[in-house]
Amino acid sequence: MFEPTIKDIAKMCGVGVSTVSRAINNHPDINPETKERIMDAIKESGYVPNDSARNLKRVDAKAIAVLIKGISNPFFTSMIKVIEQECKKKHYAMELSHIEADEDEVDVAQKVVKEKRLRGIIFLGGLFSHSEEKLQKLTVPFVFSAVGSIPESINKNSYSSISVDDRKESARMVDYLIGLGHTRIAILIAEAEEQSIGKLRLEGYCDSLKAHGIAVNPKLVCQTDDGLGHFSMENGYLTTRKLLESKEPFTALYAVADALAIGALRALHEAGLEVPGDVSIAGYDGIDMANYTVPSLTTMHQPVEEMAKATTKLLFNIIAGRAEHQHITYKAELVIKESTDYAARTEKS
Amino acid sequence: MFEPTIKDIAKMCGVGVSTVSRAINNHPDINPETKERIMDAIKESGYVPNDSARNLKRVDAKAIAVLIKGISNPFFTSMIKVIEQECKKKHYAMELSHIEADEDEVDVAQKVVKEKRLRGIIFLGGLFSHSEEKLQKLTVPFVFSAVGSIPESINKNSYSSISVDDRKESARMVDYLIGLGHTRIAILIAEAEEQSIGKLRLEGYCDSLKAHGIAVNPKLVCQTDDGLGHFSMENGYLTTRKLLESKEPFTALYAVADALAIGALRALHEAGLEVPGDVSIAGYDGIDMANYTVPSLTTMHQPVEEMAKATTKLLFNIIAGRAEHQHITYKAELVIKESTDYAARTEKS
């Protein structure tokens, strides 16, 4: 395939390379007829002019990696979309890499980082279980976005983070359910290892119960199957079925992710239970789908667009040396929809 | 940060570089004590030994790009996940790039292709509207996956494609609805431009009606808003609301994507209509969520995992010179769930 260069264009038009360059860059110092002839030649030949070529070089040179845990969670789909759009604006390539549940994301990052064009890393989701020593080996800046808590032992100036206060917001959701009169509140949790988001949300649940003088009933703390996608509908469905089989009474079910709540909705429906007539259901995340379920889902909405934009902007600013590492906490919003109601009504049914 | 090289290790141990290399590669021709000293130094220093480095170099050198139209469709999330896993196995980086509705994916590909490490491209979704001339400028092999029909004028030996027969499978779904006694079948279509998947599925709908002697009622052909995400729940929801406002009677609604169907379910629920009691709903794609809606969704299931694996494998084989371009058509599966029922029951209500 013939891929013409600026020299070929110059030769075709019988002019020098600098004349072609002037034509392309709209330089005033050029004969208009010559310019027209050159522009025609460029059009016909399929030559990618200088300016685009310069842009292209820039595109080639820079990339960021997004290392994501829990890709089955629709929450991340929205985040990835926004991050990718921000990368495009900055002429960065985005490399997406999925971290398996049994992989260590810092190990994966250490491999990715060997790449010369890589300028930064976004860790999306998952839990934080890395030693400072390991993190220090990463030679590009990185931002943790929507991950669990990061141990105090890690120097806060060595990384950035974007998150909501998962423990506090989770407690707020349970406060709301208790406010409706519920006391037997089941929780569906996934990935409840130390420092993980699931663990933080479970702690928030316990905080709220404790604050209201309600004992935590271990039979209502339902751990999803770790072999399945952590925050998948299937996992929510199967775990709720197990809970129903246990015959442990509950009037509300709080799932620490909307995807889990959607699976729970289905399991309750199949069991002939009405939501919210018999059981109130609440989720967490605020994914798009929560608006379209029947009934629509009460949830703790994370500002996904803002979080994704802030993550990418912060990383780019750090790469460019325009910012220091930062730790930004967003507020989640309690969105009350059809799936939750007063417990009184439940008790009657 | 100190990033030791093999030379640093050699210096630290007072040996030559080739000795360090022998230690790393388990070469027999080395003093065991020297070897131990070298391996200790490597451990302490954090030096990434030769072997891994060689692997890493391989990782660095190769990437494929996935250019995706319609990232808001959950169907693609599953495909991307599988493609990414296949890339990982082959030590390829995957660069994900979202094509805006008004962008030409071949133009984007021409930019992406300038990158030296790029070895191939997967076009995912969208419609085919490119001239052969433009395609020929791509200097790496490419595979179209789940895109609309590709014009006969394009040389079949110049590209690969993985798809289902959208027109035929769509007709099969409408055949099924007609078999249930429905004649007033509305269709929700997105992105119905020439050669697109939406257009093909609309053609299948018309084929089936025609084959059963039913005239196409233009008032039941509902085009979604192109300003919104093409295959989004929101689009399905709003378009169904418009259909309901039009008062045009219908007993079944066929949405050319499950995401649209889920939005339609919600709109019908809000209008006080029962599914399938009053209206049967069918989707297309077979996304995970179709199993968890209430009622669960009858759909035309595309074998997403197989298609994504075949796409990636084929591309890798072509890159490696082990395969010629191929055109593989998968069969979709009609999955009958709760959202469709006999029209007779509908007429009674």
Q: What is the pLDDT of residue A128?
A: 57
Q: Both B93 and B17 in a single domain? A: no
Question: For chains A and B, what is the number of CB pairs under 8 angstroms?
Answer: 119
Answer for the pair B72, B95: CB distance below 8 angstroms, yes or no.
Answer: no
Please say if the pLDDT value at position B60 is more than 60: no
What's the confidence (pLDDT) of residue B29?
Answer: 74
User: How much is the pLDDT for A46?
Assistant: 67
Backbone angles phi, psi at B183, to 5 degrees: -125, -30
Is A282 in the same domain as A157? no
Tell me: do A341 and A213 sit in the same domain: yes
Is pLDDT at B204 greater than 70 in this prediction?
yes
The reply to whether B95 and B142 lie within a common domain is yes
Q: Does A232 touch chain B (CB under 8 A)?
A: yes
Instruction: Please indicate, yes or no, if residue A237 is contained in any of the structural domains.
Output: yes
Q: Residue range A311-334: average pLDDT? A: 94
Alpha carbon distance B127, B226 (integer Å): 14
Contact B292 A262 (CB under 8 A): yes
Nearest CA in chain A to B95: A95
CB B258 within 8 A of CB B292: no
Exposure of B169 in the CB half-sphere (CA atoms within 13 A): 26
Considering the domain architecture, whether residues B202 and B285 belong to the same structural domain is answered as: yes
Please indicate, yes or no, if residue A180 is contained in any of the structural domains. yes
Nearest to A114 among B56, B116, B296 (CB): B56
Residue A322, pLDDT above cutoff 80: yes
How sure is the predictor about A126, in pLDDT bands with cuts at 50, 70 and 90?
low
By C-alpha distance, which of B136, B167, B182, B135 is closest to B279?
Answer: B182
- Both A248 and A194 in one domain: the answer is yes
pLDDT tens for each residue of B75-118? 888 888 899 889 888 888 888 887 776 677 777 777 776 666 78
Residue B147 near residue B167 (C-beta atoms within 8 A) = no
> At B212, which CATH number?
3.40.50.2300
Residue A139, classed as helix, strand or coil, is coil
Say if A1 falls within a structural domain: no
Q: Which of A95, A116, A136 sits opposite B95 (nearest CB)?
A: A95
Whether A314 maps to a domain, the answer reads yes
Count: domains in chain A: 3
B263 found inside a domain: yes
Preceding amide of A218 cis, omega within 30:
no
Lowest mean pLDDT among A118-122, A167-171, A314-318: A118-122
Residue B1 included in any domain = no
Verify that B216 and B342 share a domain, yes or no.
Answer: yes
* A297 and A314 housed in the same domain: no
Q: State pLDDT tens for residues A235-280.
A: 999 999 999 999 999 999 999 999 999 999 999 999 999 999 999 9
| A276 falls within a domain | yes
User: pTM here?
Assistant: 0.79
> Which tens digits make up the pLDDT trace of A160-195?
999 999 999 999 999 999 999 999 999 999 876 767
Secondary structure class of B53 (helix, strand, coil): helix
Q: Which strand (E) or helix (H) includes residue B245?
A: helix B233-245
Distances A338 to A120, A216, A298 between C-alpha atoms, Å: 42, 26, 7
The domain in which residue A48 lies consists of 6-57
Tell me the Ramachandran region of residue B181: left when phi exceeds 0, alpha when psi lies from -120 to 50, beta otherwise. left
User: Average pLDDT of chain B?
Assistant: 85
Arithmetic mean of pLDDT over chain A: 85
pLDDT at B153: 77
Q: Which of B55, B75, B94 is the last residue of a domain?
A: B55
The verdict on residue B199 lying in a domain is yes
Whether residue A290 sits in one domain with residue A171? yes
Same domain, A273 and A322: no
**What is the residue-wise DSSP string for A47-80?**
---HHHHHHHHHHHH-EEEEEEE-TTSHHHHHHH
**ipTM of the complex model:** 0.76
pLDDT of residue A70: 65
How many whole angstroms separate alpha carbon B90 and alpha carbon B105? 25
Instruction: Tell me: do B151 and B133 sit in the same domain.
Output: yes
Average of per-residue pLDDT across B52-74: 64
CATH at residue B16: 1.10.260.40
pLDDT in tens, B318-332: 998 888 999 999 999
Pick from B80, B85, B233: CB nearest A289:
B233
Return the higher-pLDDT residue of A298 and A49.
Answer: A298
Bond into B295 cis (ω within 30): yes
CA dist B229 and A148 (Å) reads 31
Rounded mean pLDDT of A62-80? 81
Residue of A nearest to B109 (CA): A56
Please provide the distance, in angstroms rounded to a whole number, between the alpha carbons at the two ends of chain A.
75
| Alpha carbon distance A59, A97 (integer Å) | 19
Mark whether A293 and A191 lie in a shared domain: yes
